Structure 1
Amino acid sequence: MHSQRVESVRILSPSGMLGAGWDHATIERGIALGADVISLDAGSTDSGPYYLGSATPKTTAKAVARDLRSLLTAASAAGIPVIIGSCGTSGTDSGVDWVAAIAAEVMAEEGLDLKVARIYSEQNATDLKEHLDAGRIHPLPPLGELRAETLESCTHIVGAMGHEPIVEALRAGAQVVLAGRATDTAVAAAYPLMKGMPAGPTWHAAKIVECGGQCTSNPRAGGVLATIDADGFTIEPLDPTVSCTPISVAAHMLYETANPFEMREPAGTLNVRDARYTAVDDRIVRVEGSTFHNADQYTIKLEGARITGYETMSFSAVRDPIVLADIDAWADLMRTMIRQRVGQTLGLADDEYAFDLRLYGHNAVLDDLEPESGPPREVGVMLLVNAPDQATATAVAKVANPLMLHLPTPEMAYLPSFAFASSPAEVERGAAYEFVLNHVVDCASPTSLFRTEMGEKTRA
């Protein structure tokens, strides 16, 4: 894979996530339009800490295989590389190996012979404690200073790589790069940066294409093609019936950013304050004026999750108009009664377990920010119990069972009946996790925290 400078680079981004699916015709159209590389994210922290904490993929293997078949057959025929980041949802080492094994099966079935690079991003707590002791780990808001015990408590820790390990793999001849945890933008920025494209337009284009068609008039219709050159970039949808507009493209800088004008990467900061968004026609948008400022210190963001306990869930539905007339008072009574019954029956103090009562249909989403008023028509009551072990969590939920089924208001002269969503009413959810790392580590080099292996990885 040569890295000589070229006049432009075209990035094909088929979707926001591997396993989400797309119409293969859009991939074919992107290839026909001259795509130089296919880049795709395969993970996120959006779905919570479970996937990192347990190293479990969010997607199913069949969906990943379907998408890989579309990508690998098209890329092989066109002779262009495929780059996939945050494999296995959270980017753990096992997640990279899982995607690599599926890719190996697809290539065997399709008769493809592609050189695969696996980049591992999982971090060792012992090594990180050395960085901590040396003062090289710093907190990001809202977290405070990191303690060594926090590192030790994590079941899995990953570092979000920048583009450099990916470039290194491409230069080593990789045709398929399967990376662990990476910034969404690094996956798309790596190839054009390697080819000498300017950093400002490249990082900005990478941000816009990270979610595929989300920057278009119909996000469900497929991905986009971004063409980066010396002065900026253009972006167009892969579906000919869909459009990009200056507003739809500019708006994506609002997505998952604390500042709509700046975005931090390991190597520095993208600044789009002076960016100009111009409609080339009714489908294509041109962007110029983006800049990138290198940081004095290269940093890698750490993500880590640990077990907080074990959960059991119960869910019932309330339709009784008397209860619903003051559902907040009824919920307060429910909380009081659960604590009393658990103490009487199980002998547990309040600090030996925890529970959350969520009223879906009444403020469960916005809570005190909910602008609507008046009693709801029906409410789903979710009880989520957390305890140090599964048996205790389920015991608490079982003690609450009669209350979730029949708790009356103080004014009621009868027992109301509510409806459980399932039988049995208690659903054991297993270990629950929480994110505990939102820190960066100062790095001696952009690749020092990551390990790359070449060749296929088959399933064990």
Structure 2
Amino acid sequence: MGNEPVKSVRVLTPSGMLGAGWDHATIERGIALGADVISIDGGSTDSGPHYLGSATPKTTAKAVARDLRSLFTAAADAGIPVIVGSCGTSGTDRGVDWVAGIAAEVMAEEGLDLPVAKIYSEQNPADLKEHLNAGRVHPLPPLGELRAETLESCTHIVGAMGHEPIVAALRAGAQVVLAGRATDTAVAAAYPLMMGMPAGPTWHAAKIVECGGQCTTNPRAGGVLATIDADGFTIEPLDPTVSCTPITVAAHMLYETVNPFEMREPDGTLDVREARYTALDDRIVRVEGSKFHVAGQYTIKLEGARVTGYETMSFAAIRDPLVLADIDAWADLMRTVIRQRVGQTLGLADGEYAFDLRLYGHNAVLDDLEPESGPPREVGVMLLVNAPDQATATAVAKVANPLMLHLPAPGMDYLPSFAFASSPAEVERGAAYEFVLNHVVDCDDPLSLFRIELGENTRA
């Protein structure tokens, strides 16, 4: 990588998520524009706790292979690194190994031999309890103080790494870095920071490119290229028919942030209060004035999920105008009758199971905030049952089956008929999970919670 200081670093981000797909021509254009590194996020918590709790990916292996093939062939020709963060959706050790296995297959098929580093971010509850007992674990709102039993209840716990483990892997000679759970921005910030780019512009650029083309006028058209230098950064779309504007770029600081002017990373806080967004032409935006304040304490955020029970779902569609005239009254009656029938038939009290009745087409999304009034034209009724075991959840759903098909509204003197979406009506969803960790660990060493495994072509 040389010892001479560089004046700028170009980061190519093809998409907001590995496995989402893109036109390979946009990758070729980014390489032609001088990309120094390719970075892409491989996961998120956006899709809920199931993927962390079960350590399974939300993407299919073929989609990931297709995207890695596009990246590896381009990176091999250009001699630049590829960095993937939060592998396997949630960044578990199993997720890293899953992506690594696909990467090995793709490279074998393409005749490539790129040095690979795997960074594991999964945490051992016993080790975390030591940190907890030493007073190094702190809650983030809205959670309270962490209890050791909560750590023990998690099926999987990961720590969200900053840029330092990725930099360590690159310095060891890796051309492909497959990282466990990482902050979305660390994936794009690591290489520029390693090459001496200032923290303010680097972290801000990394935030803007984290979702690929979402900061452009057409998010579906592909990714972006950010060029970071000593005074700021520029950003442009990889699709020549698409534009970045000061508004589309600045607006991305509103995305997934508590404060639109600040964003916390493990080693400090990005501050964009004085950032200036200038259109250089009709496609490219220049950003200057971003700052980064180093924190007094380095922290790693923990994410953990545990099983809350087992779920069975059924879904029926209603178009009967008499029922829909007061669907809320019908739903209240349904809840009452389900509890009565379950108690009579299965002998279960309310605390031994739970269920949710969701009326899609009638306030299922906004609930009491829904501004529209009047009866809906049709409603999809989702019954979601949660119980300590799958058999009980399914038994409750089966007791509710005739009600989901024929329950009359109050005052009706005949049995209406509704329509189930599937046969059988009961769909067993398996274990249900919930997030239970929103805490940080004080760390003196940014690498201490992570494990880096180097391939044969990298050096220790």
* Pairwise TM-score range, normalised by the shorter structure: over 0.9
TM alignment of 1:362-373, pairs within 5 A = 362-373=362-373
Code of the aligned partner of 2:114: L
The CA deviation string for residues 354-397 of structure 1, in whole angstroms up to 9 with x for no partner, is 00000000010111111111110000000000000000000000
SS of the counterpart of 2:203?
Answer: helix
Please tell me the residue identity of whatever aligns with 1:417: S
Matches within 5 A, 1:109-128: 109-128=109-128
Does 1:280 pair with 2:280?
Answer: yes
Q: Report the equivalent of 2:414.
A: 414
C-alpha distance in 1, partners of 2:10/2:412? 68
Pair 1:297 & 2:274 matched: no
Q: Distance in 2 between matches of 1:295 and 1:5?
A: 26
Counterparts of 1:182 and 1:409, CA distance in 2: 51
CA distance in 2, matches of 1:376, 1:273: 45
Aligned equivalents of 1:383 and 1:2: distance in 2?
A: 61
- Contact 2:329 2:410 survives alignment (8 Å): no
Distance 1:219 1:387 in 2: 41
Aligned length: 457
Tell me if structure 1 keeps the 8 A contact 2:92–2:121.
Answer: yes
SS of the residue 1:188 aligns to: helix
* Aligned counterparts of 1:237 and 1:4: Cα–Cα separation in 2: 29
1:234-254 CA-to-partner distances (Å, cap 9, x unmatched) read: 000000000000000000000
Structure 2 match to 1:260: 260
Runs (4+) of structure 1 exceeding 2 A deviation are 1-5
TM-score by length of 2: 0.99
Match of 1:400 in 2: 400
Mapped to 1, the partners of 2:370 and 2:440 lie a distance apart of 35
Q: CA deviation at 1:409?
A: 1.2
- 1:175 alignment partner in structure 2: 175
Letter in 2 for 1:397: A
List aligned pairs for 1:152-231, cutoff 5 A: 152-231=152-231
Contact preservation (8 Å) 1:4, 1:196: no
Q: Percent identity?
A: 89
Residue 336 of structure 2 aligns with which residue? Answer: 336
AA at the equivalent of 2:194: M
Q: Residues 439 and 427 (structure 1 numbering): CA distance in 2 closer, same or farther, change over 3 Å?
A: same
1:270 aligned onto 2:270:
yes
Are 1:317 and 2:309 counterparts?
A: no
- Asked whether the 8 Å contact 1:302–1:439 carries over to 2, the reply is yes
User: How far does residue 3 in structure 1 lie from its aligned partner after superposition?
Assistant: 6.5
Tell me, yes or no, if structure 1 residue 42 matches structure 2 residue 42: yes
Pair 1:3–1:138, CA change in 2 (3 A): farther
- Aligned to 1:437, the other structure's residue is in SS state coil
Counterpart amino acid of 1:411? G
SS of structure 1 residue aligned to 2:453: strand
2:263 partner SS: strand
Task: Quote how far apart the aligned CAs of 1:4 are.
Answer: 4.9
Q: Which AA in structure 2 matches 1:278? A: T
SS of the residue 1:99 aligns to: helix
Contact 2:359–2:380 (8 Å) recurs in 1: yes
In 1, Cα distance between equivalents of 2:307 and 2:12: 38
Instruction: Give the alignment's TM-score, normalised by structure 1.
Output: 0.99
Structure 2 match to 1:449: 449
- C-alpha distance in structure 2 between counterparts of 1:168 and 1:339, whole Å: 57
Aligned partner of 1:76 in structure 2 is 76
Are the equivalent residues in 2 in contact too, given 1:100–1:456 (CA < 8 A)?
no
User: Could you tell me which residue of structure 1 aligns to residue 374 of structure 2?
Assistant: 374
Determine the structure 1 residue equivalent to 2:352: 352
Distance in 1, Cα, partners of 2:366 & 2:232? 40
**Structure 2 vs 1, CA of residues 4 and 320 (structure 1 numbering), >3 Å: closer, same or farther?**
farther
Paired with 1:78 and 1:168, the residues of 2 have a C-alpha distance of 22
Aligned-partner SS, 1:75 = helix
Give 1:53-132 correspondences, 5 Å limit: 53-132=53-132
What amino acid sits opposite 1:190 in the alignment?
A
Cα contact 2:40–2:188 (8 A) shared by 1: yes
Summarize the Cα distance change of 1:3–1:340 in structure 2 as closer, same or farther, 3 Å threshold. farther
Aligned-partner Cα distance in 1 for 2:206–2:347: 56
Tell me how far apart the structure 2 counterparts of residues 331 and 3 of structure 1 sit (CA, whole Å): 70
Deviation at 1:444, TM superposition (A): 1.6
Change (3 A) 1:456 1:374: farther
Mark the CA change 1:328 to 1:3 in structure 2 (over 3 Å): closer, same or farther: farther
Q: Report what 1:9 is aligned to.
A: 9
- Aligned counterpart, 1:244: 244
Q: What SS is found at the alignment partner of 2:123?
A: coil
Tell me, in whole angstroms, the C-alpha distance in 1 between the residues paired with 2:321 and 2:456: 61
Q: Distance in 1 between matches of 2:5 and 2:387?
A: 58
SS where residue 438 of structure 2 aligns? strand
C-alpha distance in structure 2 between counterparts of 1:453 and 1:2, whole Å: 24
